[in-house]
Chains A and B, each alone.
Chain A
């Protein structure tokens, strides 16, 4: 295991958050009683049966794995970290001898979701040692390395994926890496690969169209909106796609579309921040903007108190585009960049740098 690169902004970022923590004034909120005994506090319609509360005694290891998988599926739907915690506690109870490839899928997925990439990779390697031909592991590996900006490792995983089977997944990773490496034909190559899959019923089309949209963001911004739109139509429940679509809408000046996309999705950080940015620039929605900003302030304050690591990109955007604090946005964006290197991470870093330079110029 190699030591991670020493970056000056890591300690700086830590100190920044500590400063926030020390300075945060968090008084106990007021206590109230509901007006009626029948007031509904919580709807349990989306409460997963596998969550704690239901009896977990006497479960067999296989059942634990199935329950953990269903909790991960629920996490995909509503983004609640609770279900990851539930799934993790189930996995911790699986006996070492029952830890099969399925176990390592789930373990890797949980660690990845918590942005504990090093541990995720370790778990992934254990899974790969058991099932080296499972393409899902290679796709996971590709994705972790891609997000971390480790493109040589991502290329190796992508090549392995293609060696096992050439399909839309391997085409997607190939073109995505080429786009990152600066191949100006990557967008058209990926578009062709996607087009040729249209009538074949090939698996992985929604993955491919989202990859195409990501490449369009980099190389053909005018087309990006239509691809994100298609990706969302193919998977309406995919909040990541919705969030990137909203970003593309904002970048294209389509504030109305951004508001439409985010309505009712304020519980997701990136969507809430996207909505707040759209609202901020829409004078007729001033009161809604203020209410949302208050909610986000509260949410981010709780996350800082918890020393939560998952919010850095959304928080950097919030600081830059809502609070107009380029200096703190830059620190967060740099810290985020040291761990995560997707296209939106690069964008927020560049924009924060630009804003800091400009604001310094303004102050001269």
Chain B
């Protein structure tokens, strides 16, 4: 069959939902002191070849005979923690259950930690994600006052048992926002590329930073904050939908662009750049948040928590770093060595990340 004919045949299936069929789902039911995992027999076959007599028929006997092997695989990829400490976990095959797709194997997961306070428990689920990025674990928390449904996916692999109140959800997402800003260096480096030119200008004057430059830095940070908050909200609620890959590439190159512009001097352009590229950075935050949102239904609250976490972390980093840079600005080498070195470094990092992300 020629390539175009192959594509033509496949197009009927790809474009339309005629064949949209049940995907790979497992189901987790988390009670106060119980944890049950239902996995499709199809997926167990993907984890390990169960057809021991190679007759292309998978029987209950063959499944039972493979119980130890499968239990080991489950125990490897499911980690239960209590108060931050990993707990021992064993999996026992107790029977079958029926879902829309057919037979599922039911595993009762046993651990001494299941008798502990549910609020401090968390489960890390990594089964099948490596071999099938489209696999999802659909979970139901059945703990009184904390009942909820959720979805685990690659990048959002943790269920926390005690997340029940609005305060808990807010705190969790606030924390995620802080962590993401601090560990997501591209956002901080972009801000640095925008702010450093004002410090160089002060250094050129051989004095402390002037009030007008402080005001400009304030406007740069504000423009960046407003812009990324705006696009974060729009992207989270699917008002705008842009694939993560090109956004990540653009974010990487935004750092180099800002550094290059900074070489020309400080002015109002940094403020506009912060606003324009801030929109892109917001889309980057949104793609990170999208994975986390699968674990909660309270999306608006989660979004507010996440965004405030980002803003607070950004403010704290600025408050911590700016005084150091101000002092550095008094050093004679700031203008000749530190600033050009930083700008070139930012451009190199930008290009390297951009090319990596293009790959």
Contact = CB atoms under 8 A, between A and B. Distances in A.
Interface of B is mostly: mixed
B59 A41 contact: yes
A302 B3 CA distance: 36
Given A239-B18, A307-B294, A311-B17, A85 B4 contact: no
Interface string B149-171: 10100000000000000000000
Contact of A85 (B22, B57, B100, B134): B134
B60 A89 contact: no
B18 A270 contact: yes
B145 interface: no
Contacts of A4: 240-242
A88 to B, nearest CB: 5
Interface stretch (A24-32, A184-192, A349-357): A24-32
B7 interface: yes
Contact of B242 (A51, A118, A314): A118
Contact of B19 (A11, A82, A105, A240): A240
Contacts of B242: 1, 3-4, 118
A306 B136 contact: yes
Contacts of A308: 20, 23
Contacts of A33: 60, 95-96
A186 B30 CA distance: 58
B4 A204 contact: yes
Contact of B359 (A30, A96, A203, A342): A96
A75 interface: yes
B30 to A, nearest CB: 10
Interface residues of A, number: 102
Given A11-B239, A33-B95, A136 B4 contact: yes
Q: How large is the interface on B (under 10, 10 to 19, 20 to 34, 35 or more residues)?
A: 35 or more
B11 interface: yes
Contacts of B64: 37
A79 B60 contact: no
A96 B240 CA distance: 29
Nearest to A13: B238
B46 A140 contact: no
Contacts of A88: 132-134
Nearest to B28: A28
Contacts of B36: 28
Interface in B188-206: none
Contacts of A42: 41-42, 45, 57-58, 102-103
A36 B36 CA distance: 24
Contact of B103 (A21, A27, A41, A45): A41
A30 B131 CA distance: 29
B60 A39 contact: yes
A203 B2 contact: yes
A14 B58 CA distance: 40
A171 interface: no
B175 interface: no
A144 to B, nearest CB: 7
B61 A269 contact: no
A28 B28 CA distance: 9
B318 interface: no
B151 A40 contact: no
A159 interface: no
Interface stretch (A108-116, A215-223, A276-284, A319-327): A108-116
A39 to B, nearest CB: 5
B97 interface: yes
Given A53-B45, A81-B23, A314 B17 contact: yes
Find the residue from B19, B23, B38, B98 having the highest chain A CB count within 10 A: B19
Contact of A312 (B17, B57, B59): B17
Interface stretch (B48-56, B78-86, B210-218): B48-56
B172 interface: no
B243 interface: yes
Given A14-B238, A40-B59, A239-B18, A82 B24 contact: yes
Interface string B1-29: 01111111111111111111111110101
A311 B20 contact: yes
B333 interface: no
B20 A314 contact: yes
A122 B3 CA distance: 20
A140 B58 contact: no
B345 interface: no
B138 A306 contact: yes
A82 B60 contact: no
A136 B10 CA distance: 11
B124 interface: no
Contact of B246 (A1, A44, A78, A206): A1
B60 A169 contact: no
Nearest to A246: B18
A26 B140 contact: yes
Contacts of B99: 29, 298, 302
A34 B41 CA distance: 14
B330 interface: no
B312 to A, nearest CB: 27
B46 to A, nearest CB: 4
Contacts of B238: 10-11, 14
B60 A310 contact: no
Nearest to A47: B45
A43 B41 CA distance: 10
B237 A89 contact: no
A139 B4 contact: yes
Nearest to B136: A306
A180 B99 CA distance: 41
A140 B7 CA distance: 7
A268 B4 contact: no
Interface string B294-306: 1001010000000
Contacts of B299: 18
28 contacts: A10-B238, A21-B297, A26-B149, A29-B97, A29-B98, A30-B97, A32-B96, A33-B95, A34-B60, A41-B41, A41-B63, A42-B45, A42-B57, A75-B19, A79-B13, A81-B21, A82-B23, A136-B7, A140-B11, A204-B4, A243-B16, A269-B17, A270-B16, A270-B18, A305-B151, A311-B17, A312-B17, A342-B16
For the complex of A and B, list the 7 residue pairs with the smallest distance between their C-beta atoms, beginning with the closest: A79-B19, A85-B132, A85-B134, A52-B131, A310-B20, A240-B12, A37-B61
Given A135-B4, A342-B15, 4 more contacts: A32-B97, A143-B11, A238-B9, A243-B18
